[in-house]
Amino acid sequence: MRIHPMLTLLAAGALFASTAQAYDADWKRGRVYYRSVCTSCHVASPIGQINPSAKTKAEWTAYLQADKHAKGKESVKQYVSKEYRAKIKGSNKAAEKFADVPDQELMEDIKVFLLRSAKDGESPASCS
């Protein structure tokens, strides 16, 4: 059977578009960031550790989707932003190391880490 050349082109285009968009999240980088940036602040502000395994995958997904941190006073995203990393990188190694990672990629990394470490995730985890 002969395939119409236009279809081949379309298929190649679709493949290219999907590879250009898909970002393969790095849960290990998410873990480092969560532990070094999120957890260190939680421990310092006297609320203590917030273990990833304290929430289910669905709860984490909803939490990140809503993007309301500290009972809605602010967003979660701001603590992942380049701006925030730049602000704390003098005293935070992870923020310094990941200073140039695009916000969305780092957010994905954290999300993937939280989901895999959730109560019902493949590897439930505490902060430390």
Closest CA to 113 of 23, 4, 30: 30
66 touching ligand HEC, by CB under 6 A: no
Q: How far is CA 8 from CA 1, 17, 18, 20, 61, in A?
A: 13, 14, 16, 18, 37
Query: Does 32 engage in binding with ligand HEC (CB under 6 A)?
Result: no
Q: Does residue 69 touch ligand HEC according to CB under 6 A? A: yes
Q: Is 79 in the site for ligand HEC (CB under 6 A)?
A: yes
CB-nearer residue toward ligand HEC: 25 or 37: 37
- # residues contacting ligand HEC (CB under 6 A): 15
Q: Is 45 in the site for ligand HEC (CB under 6 A)?
A: yes
CB closer to ligand HEC out of 37 and 115: 37
Nearest partner of 64 among 76, 72, 51, 78, judged by Cα: 76
Rounded to the nearest 10°, the torsion over CA 49, 54, 57, 58 is -110
Residues in contact with ligand HEC by CB under 6 A are 37-38, 41-42, 45, 47, 50, 63, 69-71, 76, 79-80, 110
